[in-house]
């Protein structure tokens, strides 16, 4: 097809667009990441096809007859991605044009991961990457000072350049017709034109079809169980139905931001007359995707019935896990905002298309735009939506830009013809919570991520993560939780009562992060659990279990504490009996907040306070510590026994003599929990652990040390405490 066009300006006419977009230039190159690609010069993949400078407005005025200033289609394409010389006269006027294989910035999804082509396909499409010469030279020197290509480095280079300058590509638009499911993987990587006013639901159905038929990891749990009192919305009749216990339904779930307004009143089985836009659009999308039923929490859970509500909240892992996919409204700040492409238009960063001769070109803002929409959305800051993301097998994101799809194996975007592989992608490493659930030690990082989320009602602190804890327990033998405290007992040779008890005690050794403006203790929850804090909590007395998972068998080797669980009737049950009788599987409605722990205790002496200067001298941190006449050392420097108070207790204990407990004798204990007495029981108020600190003057020199308390002159004794 011809590229000639009389509207091209004199500079663009000099470009041989037909040669530039000829995919034959990449014929015979080894696929990126293959052994042969390491022996191929990187300039074979990133081909400098010329320098180019668009005409300024003054040049265009002087070039054409008076009163006629035609628009150059190729200049318009480049201007649409940020290179506007009239707006930025000081910018570099000349640009570098690079031709790259269209699949280079992406990890393409394949059915058989064990196969790969020996050469790039003859049908490889061409993308243009347009950069400032200075940026091109800098990146070239930084990433390719040698001739070794390296598939991963080359892809990273393109992605980095793609994001920085300024994150856009130009390509010939795809005119391919998609017929599910196989043609998706046969198509060349090209850019599709997005329709601002509507969504291509046929394309989305092909994504779902491909996943359902080829991804074993995305299929439903074969051990399906009936969910009691489970309700769905029939999108055809627009009524709430009570599901048949013996029938397995194909349904969709909705994840969205609730907002602050209470849900409308309704009378079962009828929905409210005026449904919020996000609900109406989700129901429309469900039908267009080929489904009939949708689960929406505000209507499928009786909000005024605490028993029904808790029975469903405790099964969130099953509700979202059994759903065929979750519709995620990332553009909505509350239910009054609909889904873009349905009741709302899509205008944010819409691709620009221009026809040059007989070819249609399109600028592509890349899938990074969509991923940024997700990560920066209000939806991604909420506590309940974190759980919904972790538990969903397939996720369909609706943003102001486009619709995208994610499962355990691939990512799909409306503007791209080909699915992308999730494994090995930058996104796979930047958002790892979907995979952390599958490892016992992954729970430490998951809970830190969850703690950074916000909740409208902090009474939901445990409920909003209970589904995650339940799924993690189910897929990792030997793992469970109690009041949110992870019990990672999978590392013991034999998972039994002793292993679970010691793992539980290890989970009590958490500490809070930096104090925030609104951080406080949540009195609804037991003080010994991290859920009692409404800010970030870190596990391990060094706060680094999420970075360096501990060997809990070794860490708890000297534990000799005894644990008793108090029942609602005030009876004390030894941990061994509680564990064997299935206490960890009980509903949280049957739990009490009280533990009785028999362990070693000592008196701290007066707590001191000191401002710690950073080496820059511009900031100060407060440190609470125990002054001692004996200065312990680990051979590298002096140690201080640092006290990290829990939220709500800062500044309430300076100068006080506190009680602290250890789960091992002091000669083997490396951290201690500080307690305070209130009528009837004791509460946790902070954590004690050694910190090496040079003259107690530099913040940067504070290093948590795994040193035993035998270095300090404390007199300890065995005591029993009722913790609440």
> Does 16 reside within a domain?
yes
376 and 246: one domain?
A: yes
Residue 623: predicted pLDDT? 63
Residue 181: predicted pLDDT? 40
437 contacts 472 by C-beta, under 8 angstroms: yes
148 pLDDT band, cuts 50/70/90, is: very low
Q: What is the mean pLDDT of residues 607-624?
A: 60
72 and 213: one domain?
A: no
SS (H, E, C) 267-316: CCCECCCCCCHHHHHHHHHHHHCCCCEEECHHHHCCCCCHHHHHHHHCCH
Residue 40: predicted pLDDT? 76
Residue 404: predicted pLDDT? 94
Which of these ranges, 82-86, 339-343, 398-402, 610-614, has the smallest mean pLDDT?
A: 82-86
331 pLDDT band, cuts 50/70/90, is: confident
86-142 pLDDT tens trace: 444 445 678 888 888 876 666 666 555 544 444 454 446 788 877 777 777 766 665
Residue 156 has pLDDT above 60, yes or no: no
611 pLDDT band, cuts 50/70/90, is: low
422 and 448: one domain?
A: no
Which of these ranges, 188-197, 211-220, 528-537, has the smallest mean pLDDT?
A: 188-197
Residue 175 has pLDDT above 50, yes or no: no
Q: Dihedrals φ, ψ of 700, to 5°?
A: -70, -20
> Does 186 reside within a domain?
no
What is residue 416's DSSP assignment? Answer: B
Task: Please list, residue by residue across 608-626, b when 16 or more beta carbons sit within 10 angstroms of its beta carbon and e when fewer do.
Answer: bebebeeeeeeeeeebbbb
Residue 396: predicted pLDDT? 98
302 and 394: one domain?
A: yes
**Angle in degrees, CA 376, 154, 161, rounded to 5:** 45
95 and 52: one domain?
A: yes
**What's the rounded Cα separation, in Å, for the pair 397 and 373?**
10
Residue 519 has pLDDT above 60, yes or no: yes
365 pLDDT band, cuts 50/70/90, is: low
Residue 346 has pLDDT above 50, yes or no: yes
Domain coverage including residue 280: 201-347+367-431
Residue 152: predicted pLDDT? 42
544 and 671: one domain?
A: yes
621 pLDDT band, cuts 50/70/90, is: low
198 pLDDT band, cuts 50/70/90, is: confident
**What's the rounded Cα separation, in Å, for the pair 164 and 160?**
6
The residue ranking higher by pLDDT, 105 or 620, is: 105
Residue 53 has pLDDT above 90, yes or no: no
23 contacts 124 by C-beta, under 8 angstroms: yes
> Does 188 reside within a domain?
no
366 pLDDT band, cuts 50/70/90, is: low
Instruction: Please name the helix (run of DSSP H) or strand (run of DSSP E) that holds residue 151, with its range, or none.
Output: helix 151-164
Residue 417: predicted pLDDT? 80
Report the residue count for the chain.
Answer: 724
Residue 151 has pLDDT above 50, yes or no: no
Domain boundary among 116, 145, 167: 167
CA distances from 569 to 105, 566, 573, 719 (A): 62, 8, 11, 23
> Does 179 reside within a domain?
no
> Does 359 reside within a domain?
no
Number of domains comprising the chain: 3
Mean pLDDT of the chain: 80
479 pLDDT band, cuts 50/70/90, is: very high
Domain boundary among 406, 431, 456: 431
Residues of the chain above pLDDT 90, percent? 39
Rg (CA), the chain: 30
Residue 46: predicted pLDDT? 82
566 and 634: one domain?
A: yes
Residue 702 has pLDDT above 50, yes or no: no
Q: What is the mean pLDDT of residues 260-264?
A: 79
Q: Dihedrals φ, ψ of 182, to 5°?
A: -70, -40
401 and 456: one domain?
A: no
Residue 155: predicted pLDDT? 47
Residue 700: predicted pLDDT? 39
Q: How far apart are the first and last CA of the chain?
A: 77
Which SS3 state, helix, strand or coil, does residue 321 take?
Answer: helix
Domain boundary among 431, 456, 483: 431
518 and 598: one domain?
A: yes
414 and 451: one domain?
A: no
Which alpha helices (H) appear in 17-63, and where do they start and end?
17-20, 57-63
Which of these ranges, 115-119, 226-230, 383-387, 628-632, has the smallest mean pLDDT?
A: 115-119
Residue 650 has pLDDT above 90, yes or no: no
> Does 284 reside within a domain?
yes
Residue 108: predicted pLDDT? 66
Residue 303 has pLDDT above 70, yes or no: yes
Ramachandran region, residue 301 (left: φ > 0; alpha: ψ -120 to 50; beta: rest): beta
247 and 308: one domain?
A: yes
418-450 pLDDT tens trace: 888 776 555 554 455 667 888 999 999 999 999
Q: Which of 44-53, 190-199, 372-381 has the largest mean confidence?
A: 372-381
List the structure tokens of 579.
């564990």
> Does 253 reside within a domain?
yes
Residues 6+ apart with CB under 8 A from 262: none
Strands (E), 489-585: 510-512, 537-539, 562-566, 572-574
The residue ranking higher by pLDDT, 35 or 520, is: 520
391-418 pLDDT tens trace: 999 999 999 888 999 998 888 998 888 8
Ramachandran region, residue 687 (left: φ > 0; alpha: ψ -120 to 50; beta: rest): beta
> Does 194 reside within a domain?
no
Residue 610 has pLDDT above 60, yes or no: yes
Which of these ranges, 78-87, 312-321, 366-375, has the smallest mean pLDDT?
A: 78-87
Residue 309: predicted pLDDT? 86
139 and 246: one domain?
A: no
Q: How many CB atoms lie within 10 A of CB 606?
A: 12
**What's the rounded Cα separation, in Å, for the pair 469 and 587?**
13
Residue 169: predicted pLDDT? 62
């Amino acid at each position: 097809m011809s590229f000639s066009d009389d509207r091209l300006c004199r500079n663009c006419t000099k470009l041989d667009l037909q040669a530039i977009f000829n995919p034959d230039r990449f014929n015979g190159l080894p696929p990126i990441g293959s052994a042969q690609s390491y022996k191929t010069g990187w300039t074979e993949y990133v081909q400098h096809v010329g320098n180019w400078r668009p005409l300024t407005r003054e040049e265009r005025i002087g070039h054409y007859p008076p009163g006629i200033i035609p628009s150059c289609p190729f200049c318009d394409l480049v201007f649409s991605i940020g290179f506007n010389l009239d707006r930025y006269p000081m910018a570099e006027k000349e640009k570098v044009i690079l031709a790259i294989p269209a699949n280079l910035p992406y990890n393409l999804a394949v059915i058989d991961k064990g196969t790969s082509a020996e050469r790039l396909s003859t049908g490889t499409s061409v993308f243009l990457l347009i950069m400032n010469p200075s940026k091109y030279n800098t990146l070239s020197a930084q990433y390719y000072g040698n001739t070794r290509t390296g598939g991963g480095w080359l892809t990273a280079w393109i992605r980095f350049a793609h994001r920085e300058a300024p994150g856009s590509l130009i390509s010939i638009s795809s005119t391919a017709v998609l017929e599910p499911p196989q043609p998706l993987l046969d198509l060349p990587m090209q850019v599709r034109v997005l329709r601002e006013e509507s969504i291509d639901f046929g394309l989305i159905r092909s994504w779902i079809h491909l996943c359902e038929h080829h991804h074993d990891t995305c299929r439903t749990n074969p051990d399906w169980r009936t969910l009691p009192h489970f309700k769905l919305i029939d999108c055809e009749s627009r009524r709430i139905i009570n599901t048949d216990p013996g029938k397995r339904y194909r349904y969709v779930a909705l994840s969205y931001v609730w907002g602050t307004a209470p849900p409308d009143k309704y009378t079962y089985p009828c929905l409210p007359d005026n449904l919020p836009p996000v609900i109406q659009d989700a129901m429309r999308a469900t039908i267009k995707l080929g489904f009939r039923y949708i689960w929406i929490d505000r209507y499928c859970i009786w909000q005024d019935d605490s028993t029904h509500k808790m029975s469903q909240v405790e099964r969130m892992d099953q509700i979202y896990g059994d759903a065929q996919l979750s519709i995620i409204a990332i553009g909505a700040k509350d239910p009054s905002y609909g889904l873009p492409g349905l009741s709302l238009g899509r205008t944010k960063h819409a691709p620009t298309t221009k026809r040059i001769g007989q070819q249609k070109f399109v600028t592509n803002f890349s899938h990074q735009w969509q991923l940024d929409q997700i990560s920066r959305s209000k939806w991604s800051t909420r506590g309940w939506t974190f759980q919904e993301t972790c538990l969903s097998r397939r996720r369909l994101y609706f943003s102001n830009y486009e619709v995208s799809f994610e499962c355990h194996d691939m990512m799909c975007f409306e503007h791209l013809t080909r699915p992308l592989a999730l494994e090995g992608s930058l996104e796979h490493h930047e958002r790892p919570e979907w995979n952390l659930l599958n490892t016992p030690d992954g729970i430490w990082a998951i809970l830190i991520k969850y703690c950074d989320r916000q909740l409208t009602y902090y009474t939901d602190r445990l409920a909003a993560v209970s589904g995650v804890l339940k799924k993690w327990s189910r897929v990792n033998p030997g793992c469970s939780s109690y009041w949110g405290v992870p019990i990672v007992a999978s590392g013991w040779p034999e998972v039994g009562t002793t292993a679970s008890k010691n793992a539980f005690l290890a989970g009590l050794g958490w500490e809070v992060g930096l104090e925030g403006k609104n951080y406080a203790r949540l009195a609804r929850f037991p003080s010994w659990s991290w859920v009692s804090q409404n800010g970030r909590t870190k596990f391990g007395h060094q706060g680094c279990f999420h970075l360096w998972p501990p060997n809990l068998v070794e860490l708890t080797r000297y534990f000799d504490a005894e644990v008793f669980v108090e029942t609602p009737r005030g009876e004390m049950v030894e941990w061994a009996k509680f564990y064997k009788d299935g206490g960890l599987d009980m509903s949280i409605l049957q739990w009490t907040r009280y533990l009785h722990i028999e362990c070693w205790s000592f008196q701290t002496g007066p707590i001191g306070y000191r401002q710690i200067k950073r080496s820059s001298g511009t900031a100060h941190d407060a440190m609470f510590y125990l002054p001692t006449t004996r200065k312990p050392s680990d051979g590298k420097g002096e140690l201080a026994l640092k006290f990290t108070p829990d939220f709500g207790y800062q500044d309430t204990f300076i100068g006080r003599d506190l009680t602290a407990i250890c789960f091992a004798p002091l000669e083997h204990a490396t951290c201690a929990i500080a307690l305070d007495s209130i009528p009837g029981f004791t509460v946790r108020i902070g954590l004690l652990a050694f910190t090496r600190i040079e003259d107690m003057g530099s913040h940067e020199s504070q290093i948590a040390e795994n040193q035993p308390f035998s270095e300090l002159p404390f007199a300890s004794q065995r005591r029993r405490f009722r913790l609440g």
